[in-house]
Amino acid sequence: MLDPQERLAHLIEHLNDAVYTVDTKTLQFTSLNPAAGTLTGYSSEELIGVSVASLIAPDSLPLVKKMINQKKKKDLPTVYEVELIHKDGRHIPVEISSRMIYEDGKPVEILGIARDITERKVAERQKEIFFSLITHEIKNPLSSILMYTQLLMKKAEKEEDAKELKMLSVIQSQVDAITQLMSDFVEINQLQVKKFSIKKEPFDLNEAVSEAVTLFHKKASKHRILKKGKAKRFVNADRQRIVQVIINLLSNAIKYSQEGSTITVSVDEEKTGVTVSVIDQGVGIAKSEQKAIFDLFYRIKVGKHSMIKGHGLGLYICREIVLGHNGKIWVESEVGKGSTFRFFLPNTL
Ligand code: ADP
């Protein structure tokens, strides 16, 4: 039976990740496990006494130097990505995490772990290519299909060809649906890689609500959409994104309630901020589902919900936008009676 110290050494010896120590003064390797050899192509013995810098790709060197200097000042746990140069010349992306080793209170060595992240990087690159494909290669042809469809619709309207007009409007709504789905996907990708920025500016929330409501009036929705209440002050928020939240909530209210029913958008000024509510008289949401519906890809698959198409993206986007403003979003609902989606934007945005 090995003692704990020996067991630990045994573990490090057999770990897939490279484990090494570096002298803080010379920045040369002082010890390495066998995985460090596999990662770099050199044996551990070959690397002892070799400077760390000689294994780092030139582009990554400034970052490594910066991290080591920071570490000497204060030993906070750090994780960062760099590229190593393998013995055969290949560049290998690795994730480094390191801690300082002290002797008599003085920093003497850096203990590091390097993990090969080639596969992760390939997957990230594929994802990037996929999203740029969506944005450029698919969106552009779709917008020209839409443009020509609309031209043909005008022609059919003039010629009073109802049959053709109906077929063309099916094309138009299908193209709209794909375009919307793609922009939701791009948006979610941005949210997940934190590229998503909130551009705040003071604006009139009442006008923004009216803009969203008018859009649905124009779409000749068969619902009655009413506006209630008023914000007395301007809000300091990302206007475009807040309008996007209201549009998402309104389109859900329309989707999940019967034609002819009433939808109310209400703006309520409070002491600490402003609440916008979208109230419908639709199918409603069971209490047990009310939290999960804001999760990515979550859809209710029972009852009347199962007959309505969707992708479970809209409410997730709404929640991320509202949280990005330090706000709150929630739903109050009863099955068969309707739902009220509310979001609150604090004054101190
Ligand atoms: P989608 O509508 O595309 O499925 P959402 O993220 O917008 O995606 O909504 C998630 C789920 O929440 C929907 O599948 C639906 O079941 C439910 N939901 C959203 N809005 C309403 C509403 N106004 N009334 C009833 N159910 C709703």
Helical ranges in the chain per DSSP H? 4-14, 34-40, 44-47, 61-73, 118-132, 139-158, 162-192, 205-218, 239-255, 314-324
- pLDDT tens digits, residue range 32-62? 999 999 999 999 899 999 999 999 999 999 9
Structure tokens at 42: 């050199």
The predicted pLDDT at position 190 comes to 77
Please compute Rg for the chain using Cα positions.
29
The predicted pLDDT at position 73 comes to 84
Measured distance CA(100)–CA(73) in Å, rounded: 10
Instruction: Tell me if 310 CB under 6 Å of ligand 1.
Output: yes
The predicted pLDDT at position 8 comes to 83
Ligand 1 test: best mutation among 245, 293, 306, 322, most atoms within 8 Å of CB?
Answer: 293
Distance of CA 298 to the CA centre of its chain: 15
The predicted pLDDT at position 198 comes to 85
Which residue in this structure is represented by tokens 């979001």? Answer: 343
User: What residues does 309 pair with on adjacent strands?
Assistant: none
The predicted pLDDT at position 118 comes to 95
The predicted pLDDT at position 256 comes to 95
Instruction: Tell me if 305 CB under 6 Å of ligand 1.
Output: yes
Bridge-based pairing of strands 262-269 and 235-237 is: unpaired
The DSSP result for 66-104, as a single string, is HHHHHHHH----EEEEEEEE-TTS-EEEEEEEEEEEEET
Instruction: Tell me if 98 CB under 6 Å of ligand 1.
Output: no
Identity (one letter) of the amino acid at 323?
A: L
Q: Whose CA is nearest to atom 11 of ligand 1?
A: 299
The predicted pLDDT at position 218 comes to 73
The predicted pLDDT at position 251 comes to 93
Ligand 1 test: best mutation among 188, 294, 315, 320, most atoms within 8 Å of CB?
Answer: 315
Q: Whose CA is nearest to atom 16 of ligand 1?
A: 300
The predicted pLDDT at position 56 comes to 95
Using the atom order of ligand 1, give the atom closest to the CA of residue 313: 6
Q: Whose CA is nearest to atom 7 of ligand 1?
A: 314
- pTM for this prediction: 0.67
The predicted pLDDT at position 61 comes to 92
Query: Residue-wise pLDDT tens for the chain (349 aa)?
Result: 678 888 888 888 888 999 999 999 999 999 999 999 999 999 989 999 999 999 999 999 999 999 988 888 888 888 999 999 999 999 999 999 999 999 998 889 999 999 999 999 998 888 888 877 777 788 888 989 999 999 999 999 999 999 999 999 999 989 988 888 888 888 887 777 666 778 899 999 999 999 999 988 877 578 999 999 999 889 999 999 999 999 999 999 999 999 999 999 999 999 999 999 999 999 999 999 999 999 988 999 888 898 888 889 899 999 999 999 999 999 999 999 999 999 999 987 5
